[in-house]
């Protein structure tokens, strides 16, 4: 009996010893895994650590393939977008001349006829001139010789000095002076030398679309009602043709010219109204940027700089802003009062202030501001 108890006690001691050893080994294995995990995490952080990394940098890295695809698609489809703008604008002009102008000459008073002819042709000339200049005018690029300019930084893609307000365009693969953005509808960058042409085109195109939408509202309502009546009569004609007897005659049908006229008026009003809303919003956005003396790219740079200085208890001021009114005078190139007529309300190929390499105080600025913080 005692021998059995001793044997049972020995077995139990051996079992407990095995459990302790297994537990120690398991804890040791867990500690080794934790140490390997912390070591790997530390190595990864040491290889990828960057004090400037934040959520924006990570997001830009994730979207880098999309940016690459957009850059290459935009580069090849720029010609298609330009052809689309020319085609749509030409179709609207053709509808106005073929369909609406004869009706205006027959029904409007002489005073309204003169108004429509004068304003419509002036607006059309301004649209064509500024769009042509925006497409054909180079936005401006830094000189190739590195000794000819003093750069505030080095472009990491061009490996060349980069003047103030200059940025690299990944689509054109060149640095652009005072770059605002690359516009696919121009197949060109918007920069120092064609920024005014781009904004003027947007402004006058918006004005032209609003003019066509307001002037053609009544015609659009009549044309839309006529198209609905066409559909109803066509349905009745098909029903009569299916149940036709000797004493029934089909209802009258609209001619091809009438159908084309009504559909053209509807097309004109819908297209002009849509473009007026979309392009009008873009024009207001750029007008706000011009009032602040910024470009689209500089808005984001200034926003980050403003937040950085705000944390330090400082106030950021844009060094390229001279006040709302003076910013518009500098942008439009208005040096004397008569320039509002000759350079703003009439086509003018005058150059902007400065060369885009340095930013001295323009002569049209009324007063010089105190030295400001650089971007």
In a domain, 294, yes or no: yes
Give the residue-averaged pLDDT of 172-200.
Answer: 93
pLDDT in tens, 117-143: 999 999 999 999 999 999 999 999 988
Identify the pLDDT of residue 370.
47
Confirm whether 364 is domain-assigned.
no
Q: Max Cα separation, the chain? A: 133
Residue 100 has pLDDT above 80, yes or no: yes
Residue 175: C-alpha distances to residues 28, 159, 355 (Å): 59, 10, 15
102 assigned to some structural domain? yes
Taking residue 168's Cβ as centre, other Cβ atoms within 10 Å add up to 16
Say which of 183, 189, 209, 272 is annotated catalytic.
Answer: 183
Decide: residue 306, CB within 10 A, 0-12 exposed, 13-18 middle, 19+ buried: middle
- Residue 183 falls in the annotated catalytic set: yes
Q: Which residues pair with 189 in a beta bridge?
A: 182
Is 287 within a domain? yes
Residue for token pair 């690029």? 141
Q: How many domains in the chain?
A: 1
3-state secondary structure the chain: CHHHHHHHHHHHHHHHHHHHHHHHHHHHHHHHHHHHHHHHHHHHHHHHCCCCCCHHHHHHHHCHHHHHHHHHHHHHHHHHHHHHHHHHHHHHHHHHHHHHHHHHHHHCCHHHHHHHHHHHHHHHHHHHHHHHHHHHCCCCCCCCCHHHCCCCEECCCCCCEECCCCEEECCCCEEECCCCEEECCCCEEECCCCHHHHHHHHHHHHHHHHHHHHHCHHHHHHHHHHHHHHHHHHHHHHHHHHCCCCCCCCCCCCCHHHHHHHHHHHHHHHHHHHHHHHHHHHHHHHHHHHHHCCCHHHHHHHHHHHHHHHHCCCCCCCCCCCCHHHHHHHHHCCCCCCHHHHHHCCCCCCCCCCCCCCCCCCCCCCCCCCCCCCC
Q: Which residues contact 248 (CB under 8 A, 6 or more apart)?
A: 240
- 333 compared with 362, residue with greater pLDDT: 333
Query: What is the rounded average pLDDT of the residues 69-73?
Result: 68
Query: What would the two tokens of residue 72 be?
Result: 């290459």
Residue pLDDT, tens place only, 275-290: 999 999 999 999 999 9
Q: Name the more confident of 151 and 129.
A: 129
Over residues 263-275, the mean pLDDT reads 95
**According to the model, what pLDDT value does residue 355 have?**
87
Q: Which domain holds residue 138?
A: 63-143+184-357
Q: Is residue 204 assigned to a domain?
A: yes
Per-residue pLDDT at 375: 38
User: What span, in angstroms and rounded, lies between the C-alpha atoms of 302 and 30?
Assistant: 50
365: pLDDT strictly greater than 90? no
Dump pLDDT digits (tens) for 13-67.
766 666 565 555 656 677 777 888 887 777 777 766 666 666 666 676 776 677 6
The whole-number pLDDT of residue 374 equals 39
The yes-or-no verdict on residue 316 having pLDDT over 90 is no
Q: Is pLDDT at 246 greater than 60 in this prediction?
A: no
Q: Quick one: pLDDT at residue 371?
A: 44
Work out whether strand 153-154 and strand 161-162 pair parallel, antiparallel, or are unpaired.
antiparallel
Structural tokens at position 140:
């401006």
What digits encode the pLDDT tens for the residues 322-335?
Answer: 989 999 999 999 99
* Mean of per-residue pLDDT scores for the chain: 83
Q: Average of pLDDT values for 193-209?
A: 97
Q: Domain for residue 177, yes or no?
A: no
Q: Which residues lie across from 154 on neighbouring strands?
A: 161
Q: What local confidence, expressed as pLDDT, does residue 43 receive? A: 75
Q: What is the pTM of this model?
A: 0.77
Q: Between 315 and 271, where is the model more confident?
A: 271
> Which is higher by pLDDT, 310 or 349?
349
Does the residue 217 lie in any domain?
Answer: yes
- Give me the residues paired with residue 182 across strands: 189
Burial 315-325 (b: 16+ CB within 10 A, else e): ebebbbbbbee
234 within domain boundaries? yes
Q: Which residue has the higher pLDDT, 293 or 14?
A: 293
Q: How far apart are CA 192 and CA 257, in angstroms?
A: 48
Q: Is the predicted pLDDT of residue 208 greater than 90, yes or no?
A: yes
């Amino acid at each position: 009996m005692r021998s059995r108890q001793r044997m049972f006690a020995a077995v139990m001691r051996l079992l407990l010893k095995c459990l302790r050893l297994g537990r120690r080994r398991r804890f040791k294995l867990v500690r080794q895994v934790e140490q390997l995990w912390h070591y790997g995490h530390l190595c990864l952080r040491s290889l990828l650590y960057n004090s400037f990394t934040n959520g924006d940098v990570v997001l830009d890295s994730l979207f880098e393939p999309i940016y690459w695809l957009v850059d290459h698609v935009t580069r090849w489809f720029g010609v298609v977008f330009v052809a689309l703008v020319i085609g749509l604008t030409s179709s609207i002009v053709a509808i106005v001349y073929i369909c609406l102008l004869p009706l205006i000459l027959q029904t409007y008073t002489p005073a309204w006829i003169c108004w429509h002819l004068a304003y419509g042709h002036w607006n059309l000339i301004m649209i064509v001139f500024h769009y042509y200049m925006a497409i054909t005018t180079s936005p401006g690029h830094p000189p190739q010789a590195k000794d000819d300019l003093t750069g505030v930084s080095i472009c990491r893609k061009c490996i060349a000095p980069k003047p103030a307000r200059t940025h690299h365009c990944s689509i054109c693969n060149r640095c652009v002076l005072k770059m605002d953005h690359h516009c696919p509808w121009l197949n060109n960058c918007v920069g120092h030398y064609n920024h005014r042409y781009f904004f003027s085109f947007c402004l006058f195109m918006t004005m032209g679309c609003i003019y066509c939408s307001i002037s053609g509202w009544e015609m659009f309502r009549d044309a839309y009602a006529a198209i609905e009546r066409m559909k109803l009569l066509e349905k009745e004609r098909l029903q009569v043709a299916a149940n036709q007897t000797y004493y029934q005659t089909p209802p009258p049908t609209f001619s091809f010219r009438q159908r084309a006229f009504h559909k053209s008026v509807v097309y004109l009003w819908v297209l002009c109204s849509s473009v007026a809303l979309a392009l009008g919003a873009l024009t207001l956005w750029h007008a706000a940027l011009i009032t602040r003396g910024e470009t689209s790219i500089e808005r984001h740079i200034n926003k980050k700089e403003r937040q950085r200085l705000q944390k330090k208890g400082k106030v950021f001021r844009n060094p390229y802003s001279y006040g709302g009114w003076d910013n518009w005078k500098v942008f439009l190139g208005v040096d004397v009062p008569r320039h509002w007529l000759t350079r703003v309300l009439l086509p003018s190929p005058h150059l902007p202030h400065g060369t885009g390499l340095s930013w001295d105080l323009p002569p049209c600025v009324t007063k010089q501001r105190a030295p400001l913080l650089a971007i």
